[in-house]
Structure 1
Amino acid sequence: MLKVTLEQWRMFKAVVDFGGFNQASQQIHKSQSSIHNSVNKIETALGVKLFRIEGRKTVLTEAGELMLRRVEYLLDEANKVETIGTNLAEGIETKLRIAIDEIFPSHMLYQVLDKVSREFPFLRIELVESVLNGANEQLENALVDIAVSAFTLEGLFSEELCQIDFIAVASPEHALHQTTRPLTLEDLKSHRQIVVRDSAVAKNHDSGWLQASQRWTVSHMRTSIDMIKKGFGFAWLPVPLIEQELKTGELVPLNLQTGRTRKAQLHLTFVDGDSLGPAARAFLGELRYHSMMLPTSQLALDNIT
């Protein structure tokens, strides 16, 4: 059993905030005697003196200053608990679980998450970064509420979200850039291709491999980008993730006869829109809005090549 109630701590803090017992009484509409009584009970229960009188001023003691820092945290946490309870009563979820393909532009995702978090400050967001079928597998196993994937799921609601452009690239020093004539897909097969592994376990899927003589398979798109920048191979990479590298020349588009660019359609998938809470619906709305801001494919490529 706690020796001091939250209400008594609120009285103590009111004296500090408003500069004295009389001032606190006027501001929180409690009698001065009840505030005095609450502070006295705290001091008696804990065996410490919280205030001292200096002239006409009520001043915190050293012990009071130490207690104040703890009390502010305690009252803040109590307010959070009450807010969460109110949110639950109003149907506002406390957790949002999202699986999203790594090819979705990260800067847009961060903006969406920040906007939703500011609107729902007590929402806990769990983000699973996936590749190919990974996001849908998370949704099928009820590990997430929303999936953004390059594949649809039969029996669930899926809508087209945005298209992501891919472009074949290598580092400027790579041997593929030393050929003056346009390259064929057969030319590529004699060089190492960097492939990103499907993060799904049950539906592992190879996408884009040319049956090159050498293949390095990695788990994350960022690892693939880093390897290609260092000259270890080539790959088709999502343009939004390598815009900076293309502008600086760290990555250079391959001079292919055909097939220089590819496209991936991302889909937004969830089990039941009616069962989603306000925070999830806000996330969907922000994601749709920001996805509309993606430049059209040819414009994006013209700006960087």
Structure 2
Amino acid sequence: MLRITLEQWRMFRMVAEHGGFNQAAEQIHKSQSSIHTAVSKIEQLLGVKVFYVEGRKTKLTDSGEMLLRRANYLLDEAQKVEAVGYTLGAGVEASLRIAVDEVFDKNILYQALEATSKSYPLLRIELFESILSGAHELVESNQADVAISPISLANGVSEQLCTIDFVAVSSPFHPLQQLNRQLELEDLKSFRQIVIRDSAYHKRSDSGWLEAEQRWTVSHLRTSIDVISQGLGFAWLPLSAIASELESAKLVRLPLTYSAIRTSSLFLVFQDGDRLGIAAQMFIERLRDLCRNGA
């Protein structure tokens, strides 16, 4: 039988997070005396001191630090259990938020979305198109339920969904194409590289940049394709996104000795499979099937 309630642990965490009993009381709309009582109960039952006062600040003792780590895990798990319960009780969810890296094959994405919508026509789907860390960040911050991302989750579910081939390309009229020889990576550094901006707000990366002397950074894959088609730079672009441009010769591959093709993995990521609704689970299964069968 548990002798300390989740509510008492929550009050303990709020004091730790806000640096005092008064501040915690304001945040959770409880009386200061009730929070004091909850913390005193924890100290009494466990036989440890969890806080000490330094100036105007209430700080954690070493024992308090250790207990806070465990309490955080306990409270987070309790919240997940409650969310799973709501999902089970609600049946089909009202909305599905999906974050997708722009390099993912659009044909596969649209087929999976259409199949899901046919089965659940009242489902509202929100699609967030992102670059690099963006999709991963949206799932971590609970702004998306499911993501297709080049970055796996540290905590949560991450499974490799597919690989994407990137090819080095330029316009057929670009100066690099006029050299009439095999190219080295060093040759490229003297020319403008087109880079797509990481759409994350935090921890952005410059994946793929060669440290070329000139760089244009754009926000969307389509912009990058248009800029390169007009002879204004070069880049590695996903093969599936530029098939028509290669076929029409608006874009041509750079004759690189090495690294003409780069391969990157995309992961299917979400926080907790038990919290996903029926429609989300169907969308995921359809994605897996389409990627597996090379739709």
TM-score, with structure 2 as normaliser: 0.69
Match of 1:98 in 2: 98
Match of 1:240 in 2: 240
Partner amino acid, structure 2, of 1:250:
K
Counterpart mapping for 1:156-167 below 5 A = 156-167=156-167
TM-score, with structure 1 as normaliser: 0.67
Structure 2 Cα separation of the partners of residues 127 and 291 of structure 1: 19
Match of 2:258 in 1: 258
Partner amino acid, structure 1, of 2:271:
V
Structure 2 Cα separation of the partners of residues 215 and 294 of structure 1: 34
Q: For each residue in 1:45-65, what CA deviation from the matched residue of structure 2 results, as whole angstroms up to 9, or x when unmatched?
A: xxxxxxxxxxxxxxxxxxxxx
SS of equivalent to 1:292 = helix
Structure 2 Cα separation of the partners of residues 250 and 116 of structure 1: 35
SS of equivalent to 2:283 = helix
**4+ residue segments displaced more than 4 Å:** 87-90
**Alignment coverage as a number of residue pairs:** 209
Match of 1:172 in 2: 172
Query: How well do the aligned residues superpose, as a CA RMSD in angstroms?
Result: 1.4
SS of equivalent to 1:244 = helix
Match of 1:182 in 2: 182
Q: For each residue in 1:189-232, what CA deviation from the matched residue of structure 2 results, as whole angstroms up to 9, or x when unmatched?
A: 00000000000011100011111110000000110001000110
Q: In percent, how many aligned pairs have the same letter?
A: 53
Q: Which runs of 5+ in 2 are unaligned?
A: 1-86
Structure 2 Cα separation of the partners of residues 234 and 99 of structure 1: 27
- CA drift of 1:107 comes to 1.7
Q: Would you say 1:284 and 2:284 are equivalent positions?
A: yes
Q: For the structure 1 residues 293 and 246, does the alpha-carbon distance in structure 2 shift closer, same or farther, using more than 3 Å as the test?
A: farther
Partner amino acid, structure 2, of 1:262:
R
Structure 1 Cα separation of the partners of residues 173 and 201 of structure 2: 36
Structure 2 Cα separation of the partners of residues 288 and 91 of structure 1: 23
Structure 1 Cα separation of the partners of residues 157 and 89 of structure 2: 27
Q: Which runs of 5+ in 1 are unaligned?
A: 1-86, 296-305
SS of equivalent to 2:293 = coil
Q: Would you say 1:202 and 2:195 are equivalent positions?
A: no
Match of 2:61 in 1: none
Greater shift, 174-183 or 158-167, is seen at 174-183
Q: For each residue in 1:141-170, what CA deviation from the matched residue of structure 2 results, as whole angstroms up to 9, or x when unmatched?
A: 110100110011101110000000000000
- CA drift of 1:291 comes to 1.2
SS of equivalent to 1:183 = coil
Structure 1 Cα separation of the partners of residues 180 and 117 of structure 2: 51
